[in-house]
Amino acid sequence: MSDTFTKAFEQADYHVSGHSPRSVQVLKEALEGYDSVLESDMYGSGKVIEEFQEKMAKVLGKESAVFFPSGTMAQQIALRIWCDEKGIKRVAYHPLSHLEIHEEDGLKELHHIEPVLLADENRVITLEDVVNMKEDIACLLLELPQREIGGQLPDYKTLQEISAFCREKGIRLHMDGARLFEILPFYQKSAEEVCALFESVYISMYKGIGGIAGAVLAGGHKFTEQSKIWKRRHGGDLISLYPYILSANYYFNQRQEKMEQYYKEAKELADFYKECHRVYLRPAEPVSNMFHVHFKAPKGTMESLLAELYEESGIGLSGHIREVNGQTSCFEVSIGDRYAEVPKEKLKGAFEKLDKKMREL
């Protein structure tokens, strides 16, 4: 990342994406709401952790839920439990699943579970992919939305069909719901309704919710009890998880109801991008608070162009841009609290400038 680009982004008056910066203030603010004498959780027990777990189980419509330090840990464990149950060390997921590309092969190295990669890198998993799969698997993992391709979603009917097929075939369906709350406005469903299609669900507390870190794994009682044993084995059963739990709870309460707003704002912002030359979006129409912006120009060119744009307009669109191939580059947009702070006129002006600059390339 060029220093000029990063600096121009940081110094912009407004940032279009995300919540406030990930500074210590995020934790300080969350803690202000809690009494100092509130006792720490202790190795998975105590009021702080138990109450939050019960609350999340209810929100997700599952028998019980367990707080984990990370989704990486929670999901490997979910897949391991379903593999052990069926006696088959094979699961299926998308080739761009977090497990496949961001976890240093923990699933394979620690659990010796072999993945079957469904669909291809450009689209989400369909019913046909699942039906035509030749391998016997214990569990199918669906990521909703599929983050690495801009946050794409299957339609709800497909989800229902995949769920019905898996139940018929004795395949456990697990949800990577890192951004579950972010897609509910598109589906027009409650978390409970979507989760009912899955045997187990992981949600993240720091994506749209904006907590410090942490995850929740939910499912039937037997499943979550087993997950606690694996949590200890992984080294995730910390003496105190409350810094993450309290902030998760605080920001969940604050942002749960704002997902509809983020979704609308994402669509509004997408409309601005769509007007620009040499710019296209994935998905073409947002189905959550996120989407990817692709530029028909190399990364270096775009860094210079955007740095100028940020300086001239005072609007910072993104601080990270990545090469797609020699000819195109892209960044991710994820709408949070900051979008509402950006004056519309200034934003409009920035996009007029962007369009002009892209035409002049």
Tokens of 74: 């929670």
Which 237-256 residues touch a second copy, going by CB under 8 A?
Answer: 237-244, 246
> In the bound complex, what is the minimum distance in angstroms from residue 111's beta carbon to a second copy?
8
Q: Binding a second copy by CB under 8 A: which of 123, 169, 222, 232? A: 232
Which 172-211 residues touch a second copy, going by CB under 8 A?
Answer: 206
Sign of CA dihedral 145, 147, 152, 157: negative
All residues at 6 or more sequence positions from 128 whose CB lies less than 8 Å from its CB, including other chains: none
Cis preceding-peptide flag for 298 (omega within 30 of 0):
no
Burial class (CB in 10 A: 0-12, 13-18, 19+), 23: exposed
User: Rule CB under 8 A: is residue 235 a binding residue for a second copy?
Assistant: yes
Sign of CA dihedral 241, 246, 249, 255: negative
Query: What is the pairing mode between strands 90-93 and 114-117?
Result: parallel
User: Rule CB under 8 A: is residue 229 a binding residue for a second copy?
Assistant: yes
Instruction: State whether residue 163 is helix, strand or coil.
Output: helix
Q: How many C-beta atoms surround the C-beta of residue 11 within 10 A?
A: 11
Q: Binding a second copy by CB under 8 A: which of 8, 16, 26, 113? A: 26
Q: Binding a second copy by CB under 8 A: which of 12, 49, 57, 74? A: 74
User: Rule CB under 8 A: is residue 234 a binding residue for a second copy?
Assistant: yes
User: Rule CB under 8 A: is residue 38 a binding residue for a second copy?
Assistant: yes
User: Rule CB under 8 A: is residue 73 a binding residue for a second copy?
Assistant: yes
- Determine the interface stretch with a second copy among 19-27, 118-126, 270-278, 309-317 (rule: CB under 8 A): 19-27
- Determine the interface stretch with a second copy among 36-44, 216-224, 340-348, 351-359 (rule: CB under 8 A): 36-44
d(CA 107, CA 121): 20
- The residues that touch a second copy, with contacts defined as CB under 8 A, are 21-28, 31, 34-40, 42, 68-74, 76, 103-106, 109-111, 206, 212-213, 229-230, 232-244, 246
